[in-house]
A and B are shown apart, each in its own frame.
Chain A
Amino acid sequence: MSDWVEACAAGDIDEEDVMRFDHAGRTFAIYRSPDDEYFATDGLCTHEKVHLADGLVMDDIIECPKHNGRFNYKTGDARGAPVCVNLKTYPVKVDAGKVLVQVG
């Protein structure tokens, strides 16, 4: 399973921010942490299917823009109401200035 796909250039995402990435009919959220690491999760909140890329990144937390549900985007853990179901996470690597996500 080596289906790495290019999501964006590393510089496309500000530090402590998130970007939407759509691929093969699926949507993902790509994160750049305050310490300049990259992460990826499913793009929709597990509560009501809102795009997390419109939300707010604070440290290692992504907050959903609709109901303020919080996840740890590094682990996918739901961090309290109204989200109860964890987010799926995906491996990420940066190669030659490109952010690659293993979407399989």
Chain B
Amino acid sequence: MTAMTSSTAPPRDYSLTGRDAKRAIENGLAAAEWYHTEIPRKQMKELMQRSDQPAIRDTVIWLAAFIVSAAGGIWFWGSWWCVPFLFVYGTLYGSSTDSRWHECGHGTAFRTQWMNDAVYQLACFMIMRNPVTWRWSHTRHHTDTIIVGRDPEIAVMRPPDLARVVLNFFGILDAWHAVTDMVRNAAGIISAAEKTFIPEQEQPKAIRVARIWLAIYVATIALALYLHSWLPLMLIGLPRLYGAWHHVMTGLLQHGGLADNVVDHRLNSRTVLMNPISRFIYWNMNYHVEHHMFPMVPYHALPKLHEMIKHDLPAPTPSILAGYREMVPAFLRQLRNEDYFLKRALPPTAKPYREELHNDIPMAAAAE
């Protein structure tokens, strides 16, 4: 790992309709040809094969954990014993749904499409991401990963807004924006930014979903008022806040502190080795370089893919803690110099690809 700095570039414009959006198109960074490790077709086909069995097993465990933790939270409501149950429930609701939304949106979790669609809709509701809007924003994220002005899913922009990052561990700003977006969409309004990535014929679907969700939240609030109890909201809505911590913790590691405006996922994405509980919650998205390079590969095959191509990838970050030990100092450096980033070192066995994009601004390198 090498740290790269520069001090001459103008501030980044992350607007999808702004200066850097136009510049990315002019520079060929938009919809570019991205690097892929070469894998023989026969092996790639084996990796891409879909199966219902792993996701059905995981989903049965997942739903059972929801039911048990919700039942415990309700049963013990009013005593401190409800806390561990709601902690588990909240983490499932506010964090595991991030990966379920994601995998089922790709259509890779299950072989049977209606199963992907069902879990996708449920997870989208819980994580408060409009299933139409986010399907299209994520499509753009895969086309233009961490390309400034093109990618609508850059979690930490430069210079980093660290207060926002910290607040999002409790879901505060994300949920606020999700609610305001939902109300706006329910009123029939699609924003200018949303119009850049949602096709016109899909926009009414986003509005319809927002209206259904709004009705559910109004009904939940009405029930809470009727019962004079926070419990309905502790089960629907608020878990997006008190259970967000895990998906923010893992999500920041996906691209945080790494390069932007490159067309090689090895340089702008991070694979992190994690404990099995986090991998269950995260559905193996810790293999993030592999996922971006080959989004057709289901979550359950990512460890095998990692073993197959690791000779061509930067060494994986050994733990969540190790990831934060490199990422947080990089964020702090970016407060003073937004061009600073962590340059991923490729192993000697790796194939280089368009390195000029990694070095196209005046920089001074310093070994960490």
Q: How many A-B residue pairs have CB under 8 A?
A: 43
In the bound complex, do residue B135 and residue A81 qualify as a contact, i.e. CB atoms below 8 Å apart? Answer: yes
Bound Cα distance from A48 to B150, whole angstroms: 15
Q: Which residues of A contact B203 (CB under 8 A)?
A: none
Min C-beta distance of A73 to chain B, whole Å: 16
Instruction: Decide if B252 is an interface residue (CB 8 Å cutoff).
Output: no
Instruction: Decide if A8 is an interface residue (CB 8 Å cutoff).
Output: no
Q: Which residues of A contact B45 (CB under 8 A)?
A: 14, 17, 56
Residue of B nearest to A70 (CB): B107
Instruction: Decide if A58 is an interface residue (CB 8 Å cutoff).
Output: yes
CB contact under 8 A between A82 and B48, given known A68-B108, A68-B296? no
Interface size class of B (residues with CB under 8 A): 20 to 34
Q: Which residues of B contact A84 (CB under 8 A)?
A: 199, 201-202
Min C-beta distance of B295 to chain A, whole Å: 6
Binds A, one of B5-13, B65-73, B136-144, B358-366: B136-144
Min C-beta distance of A57 to chain B, whole Å: 9
In the bound complex, do residue A67 and residue B142 qualify as a contact, i.e. CB atoms below 8 Å apart? Answer: yes
Instruction: Decide if A63 is an interface residue (CB 8 Å cutoff).
Output: yes
Q: Which residues of B contact A14 (CB under 8 A)?
A: 45
A interface: dominant SS = loop
Q: Which residues of B contact A58 (CB under 8 A)?
A: 50, 111
In the bound complex, do residue B106 and residue A68 qualify as a contact, i.e. CB atoms below 8 Å apart? Answer: yes
CB contact under 8 A between A56 and B135, given known A63-B107, A67-B142, A84-B201? no
Most B-side CB within 10 Å, residue of A14, A17, A82, A84: A82
Min C-beta distance of B285 to chain A, whole Å: 15
In the bound complex, do residue A67 and residue B143 qualify as a contact, i.e. CB atoms below 8 Å apart? Answer: yes
Residue of A nearest to B131 (CB): A81
Q: Which residues of A contact B295 (CB under 8 A)?
A: 65-68
Q: Which residues of B contact A (CB under 8 A)?
A: 31, 44-45, 48-50, 106-108, 111, 132, 135-136, 139, 142-143, 199, 201-202, 294-296
6 closest A-B pairs (Cβ-Cβ)? A82-B139, A56-B48, A68-B107, A67-B139, A68-B106, A65-B296
* Further contacts, 12 of them, CB under 8 A, given A14-B45, A63-B296, A66-B143: A48-B143, A55-B296, A56-B45, A56-B48, A58-B111, A63-B107, A66-B142, A67-B139, A68-B106, A68-B108, A81-B135, A84-B202
7 A-B residue pairs with CB within 8 Å: A54-B44, A56-B45, A63-B296, A67-B139, A68-B106, A81-B202, A84-B199
